[in-house]
A and B are shown apart, each in its own frame.
Chain A
């Protein structure tokens, strides 16, 4: 026996390690709508397996909790059982010796307090409050409900135009979404259970890139009804597209020079090339949508007049005004808002940052767009100032990585204090207060707190504020459109209370959100406006979905879309992302597990052929 030995993993331990990884994948792919009590009981069982067995509360108490929770699930519990669960969990949480015990009990406590009504429903009715809602995970996660397995199968079969037609049934922006969608569809992809989500966005982009020009479907017979859409962004144009297909005459009022909303005035062209956006818009306009550019509601025409002139109105004005940090010196020359900067770029007015030192305040996708644009506009240095950690940024990880690769630097754990200006009121530096991480907040991120360190001076002559946008609501509020916390208070139908014929959706209702959410809101509004106008048109598409492959789906990792070289791409606004090759696209399409055919999808929710 040696005095010390070098630890090496045993064979069985190595298998357990790989099972841990499998479990992690499985949790990622967990379908929505599962019974929280059942899940809590299952987690508890795993926690209990981790106990070392030394201490009573953990060794015995966790088992007793498990038995009581099973009683709840099996309909053998009373309300007293719930009291007993809570009491026992509290004692374990208070008296267990180590985190294995007290954290397990805390999870139970969190559950019995957080979803107590579900516990009670099990006791009183023997039923869970949750509706089993786990059809096709990607479709369920897509706000617009795009038939993802359908178009993936079509890409696999080489039917790209059909794929585009199928996507357009639920989303008239296949081109833009193929490039910039945040792809919530991938988050719970069942392929995660094997090795990783299918690269759905990449396949969508492949379909669009290879479909050629796909004309929109014919419109239904004209109804003679008119609809005004206020705001020509993704939400407004989506509503316009479907309403037009339904036979209504739509006019889009857009206050800026061009259509596209945040797709044009928020997202730089290196992510979304303008010709791709234009293809989507062209197809939408080809349905007969009329457009009034440069018209602002409340200035050029009143909402009251629109309401008089049109049978229905859809408000989709987005969130285009900037938020201020509220620090000293914010009015100095050189301080610009993200909205202002990206808007100018959208219309082709490029600021010159040659030789400038740029600081960007914020950690979201807009901050990254500003950062990477500033690099392309010639800035000497670009620093992203953020008061939390890198992993706490709300920007997509790939956006942050892209910015870093292009030469941005991250100044994390720094809260803006004030802006220093020279005698001519030109900004020269941003003073920041170093932060330290504190307790975890509700969203699971640690709260930043002032560190006991002196402020730091960040030299900067351009300071871009990218901490969120708000909504210009005055004209709508004056007409009586209900407002709640700075957004339009629309119902889930898109309609607003007590105002016949007025609907709203997109960022102006949700606050700044994703493109696909805005598109979904437009789709929902189109359906309900059609209903409001007294019709029940259905949107459908005659595309045959290839049959599911019955053979094996051997292990195969996820392919990522390749990027242009960072040192080249940072010098221009050309598209930075490359599409899949045919070989890779086919391989990726083949990875789809066809949840529309296998599993729950074949029973319910597998395919909505019309809406």
Chain B
């Protein structure tokens, strides 16, 4: 029995379980005490002092986010002292905040802006003192010190959820700020580029490198052929910041929007996800056939954040990665070879653009080893979901008024197995569906492997394919991943095949997705993807006719010589900063 505590908040009697914070108690009765730095369970550090309240009998104002209620407590959330403190503290934050809001990517979705507006601030009483910002603006992850409010959420999410400790406080006293830990620059850091710090930033201090203008330049160039691919998880989220209800925000409506923008060919990364399954699934079966030749378990390789993590944290295990490229990169390589041939175009004229829920994809596309089709980068430009939304807005496309349109052919065909790549466990499930077929010659029930679904950080299951047990594990979020790898290295667990996604919940919760204060939407978006799989005519990657045609007409078969050239990569061929030695 949880002990209940009785108190009053602004005169309203409240009964909540013991160990409830004052903030939660207030919100439970509809008293929305404002907060800024606070993120439940992740950042309860009472730094911004915006959530302070007055308690009868206690002289100082008390932060409501990390102090608990007690029996008989009398709380006032809007007393004159509280109002004054809240206002002054927000003004103080604003005095050091670069308020060039019109050209900030978070304008309209900024907690500080919202709070200042809510409080009705009309002018600034203090000297403005904006800290200078130094940053490598070519890196996919951008931090603008002039906008940072030192809420510490980025530090916390990187430490507690991703276990990478990329961010830390730097300098002391009045010049205390956040920067890359250990005095490193971001390029020197072992940042996975998961982008979780961005999606947890309440203001515009953290964002992706904006590549939208480069995209418009490509669209403007009449000599170029623009080919765009849309990643699975994008379809579950792109409408959120455009005010489109989830059922309206279909991928076909996004296709229509991109067509309005002027992209020549609009394709689906689901297609190359299916292709990934054919290659990675075949590779896995090859490993199973000759177990002594390979390192175990085999790791999936489609998440570039995870690849960066493994290379920097456990470089000796890079050999466990599947050599298959990610769907994005397979798509680029196929576009600039097979597809260029199909449309009889010079591949050097093609610009391959992808829309991804991800920051690491920007860096992956820039890798020198990803230029296999014609010598140019296989993927020229990567836009996050947020960037494509901004492009739609800047084109003033009324998405509500758009009718659905179909993907172009042939690289616009994808299976349900490809769609679920966007959710944690999806790659594993898709791979098992096809591996089963490749071994037995017949399809398993499409939902036979659904045990690997769900938001749990580290899942495991054993399936039998023709009597052979296959031990699989799925993790998402890099702290969960680290725990899994530690257990593997300590010999506490044994697996054959492991799927890892850097972001909690997989790409659905990716660092390039629309940002919603204090909401984790990976679960909801993942459900959209599983729903799409459920209603799909195609549930198996190996049944994708476009993939079958590609093999028939161009690649011959999975793992063929040409498939190796175009669709596989050497993960050791590029360098990644290693995790610094612990001090």
Residues of A at under 8 Å CB distance from B?
A: 33-35, 38-39, 42, 73-76, 121, 125-132, 134, 536, 547, 550-552, 597, 602-603
Once the chains bind, are B172 and A127 in contact (CB under 8 Å)? no
Kindly state whether residue B108 has any CB partner on chain A within 8 Å: no
6 contacts between A and B (CB under 8 A): A35-B172, A42-B173, A121-B183, A127-B170, A128-B171, A552-B59
Interface residues of B in 34-62 (CB under 8 A from A): 44-47, 55, 57-60, 62
Once the chains bind, are B44 and A127 in contact (CB under 8 Å)? no
Once the chains bind, are A603 and B45 in contact (CB under 8 Å)? yes
Interface residues of B in 433-486 (CB under 8 A from A): none
Cα distance, A128 to B175, chains bound together (Å)? 10
Once the chains bind, are B62 and A603 in contact (CB under 8 Å)? no
A132's contact among B46, B132, B169, by CB below 8 Å, is which?
B169
Once the chains bind, are B152 and A603 in contact (CB under 8 Å)? yes
Closest chain B residue, CB of each to CB of A549: B58
Chain A at the B interface: SS class: loop
**Which residues from chain A contact B172 at a C-beta distance below 8 Å?**
33-35, 38, 128, 130, 132, 134
**Which residues from chain A contact B47 at a C-beta distance below 8 Å?**
603
A35's contact among B45, B67, B132, B173, by CB below 8 Å, is which?
B173
Kindly state whether residue B134 has any CB partner on chain A within 8 Å: yes
A602's contact among B44, B134, B179, by CB below 8 Å, is which?
B44
- Distance in angstroms from B186 CB to nearest chain A CB is 12
Closest chain A residue, CB of each to CB of B55: A550
Interface residues of B in 79-108 (CB under 8 A from A): none
**Which residues from chain B contact A597 at a C-beta distance below 8 Å?**
66
Closest chain A residue, CB of each to CB of B183: A127
**Which residues from chain A contact B60 at a C-beta distance below 8 Å?**
550, 552
Kindly state whether residue B176 has any CB partner on chain A within 8 Å: yes
**Which residues from chain B contact A76 at a C-beta distance below 8 Å?**
132
Task: Please judge, given known A-B contacts A132-B172, A547-B68, A551-B57, whether A126 and B45 are in contact too, CB under 8 Å.
Answer: no
**Which residues from chain A contact B57 at a C-beta distance below 8 Å?**
551
A121, A132, A603 — most chain B CB neighbours (10 Å): A603
Once the chains bind, are B45 and A74 in contact (CB under 8 Å)? no
A34's contact among B62, B152, B173, by CB below 8 Å, is which?
B173
Kindly state whether residue B520 has any CB partner on chain A within 8 Å: no
Closest chain A residue, CB of each to CB of B134: A126
**Which residues from chain A contact B68 at a C-beta distance below 8 Å?**
547
Cα distance, A35 to B183, chains bound together (Å)? 14
Kindly state whether residue B168 has any CB partner on chain A within 8 Å: yes
Once the chains bind, are B170 and A128 in contact (CB under 8 Å)? yes
Once the chains bind, are B176 and A132 in contact (CB under 8 Å)? yes
List 8 other contacts, CB 8 Å, given A34-B172, A75-B134. A38-B172, A38-B175, A42-B173, A73-B175, A74-B132, A127-B171, A127-B179, A551-B59
**Which residues from chain B contact A75 at a C-beta distance below 8 Å?**
132, 134
Once the chains bind, are A550 and B67 in contact (CB under 8 Å)? yes
Closest chain B residue, CB of each to CB of A74: B132
A131's contact among B45, B62, B168, B175, by CB below 8 Å, is which?
B168
- Distance in angstroms from A134 CB to nearest chain B CB is 8
B171's contact among A35, A536, A552, by CB below 8 Å, is which?
A35
**Which residues from chain B contact A134 at a C-beta distance below 8 Å?**
172
Closest 10 interchain pairs by CB? Answer: A603-B45, A35-B172, A128-B171, A132-B169, A34-B172, A38-B173, A75-B132, A132-B172, A602-B45, A127-B170
**Which residues from chain B contact A73 at a C-beta distance below 8 Å?**
175
- Distance in angstroms from B61 CB to nearest chain A CB is 10
Cα distance, A286 to B217, chains bound together (Å)? 76
Cα distance, A162 to B432, chains bound together (Å)? 52
Cα distance, A76 to B129, chains bound together (Å)? 14
Cα distance, A313 to B306, chains bound together (Å)? 40
- Distance in angstroms from B478 CB to nearest chain A CB is 19
**Which residues from chain B contact A129 at a C-beta distance below 8 Å?**
183
Closest chain A residue, CB of each to CB of B170: A127
Interface residues of B in 4-27 (CB under 8 A from A): none
Closest chain B residue, CB of each to CB of A551: B58
**Which residues from chain B contact A132 at a C-beta distance below 8 Å?**
168-172, 176
- Distance in angstroms from A43 CB to nearest chain B CB is 13
Cα distance, A547 to B172, chains bound together (Å)? 29
Closest chain B residue, CB of each to CB of A536: B490
- Distance in angstroms from B146 CB to nearest chain A CB is 12
Once the chains bind, are B46 and A602 in contact (CB under 8 Å)? yes
B44, B45, B60, B490 — most chain A CB neighbours (10 Å): B45
**Which residues from chain A contact B168 at a C-beta distance below 8 Å?**
131-132
**Which residues from chain B contact A128 at a C-beta distance below 8 Å?**
170-172, 175
**Which residues from chain A contact B170 at a C-beta distance below 8 Å?**
127-128, 132
- Distance in angstroms from B348 CB to nearest chain A CB is 41
Closest chain B residue, CB of each to CB of A129: B183
**Which residues from chain B contact A42 at a C-beta distance below 8 Å?**
173
> Per-position contact with A for B159-202: 1 when CB-CB < 8 Å, else 0?
00000000011111111100100010000000000000000000
- Distance in angstroms from B434 CB to nearest chain A CB is 38
> Per-position contact with A for B122-134: 1 when CB-CB < 8 Å, else 0?
0000000000101
Cα distance, A417 to B58, chains bound together (Å)? 65
Cα distance, A602 to B170, chains bound together (Å)? 18
**Which residues from chain B contact A547 at a C-beta distance below 8 Å?**
68
Cα distance, A580 to B66, chains bound together (Å)? 33
B62, B66, B183 — most chain A CB neighbours (10 Å): B183
**Which residues from chain B contact A39 at a C-beta distance below 8 Å?**
173
- Distance in angstroms from B54 CB to nearest chain A CB is 11
Cα distance, A550 to B56, chains bound together (Å)? 11
Closest chain A residue, CB of each to CB of B486: A536
Cα distance, A38 to B175, chains bound together (Å)? 9
Closest chain B residue, CB of each to CB of A38: B173
Closest chain B residue, CB of each to CB of A535: B490
A38, A42, A550 — most chain B CB neighbours (10 Å): A550
Cα distance, A75 to B62, chains bound together (Å)? 36
**Which residues from chain A contact B55 at a C-beta distance below 8 Å?**
550
**Which residues from chain B contact A121 at a C-beta distance below 8 Å?**
183
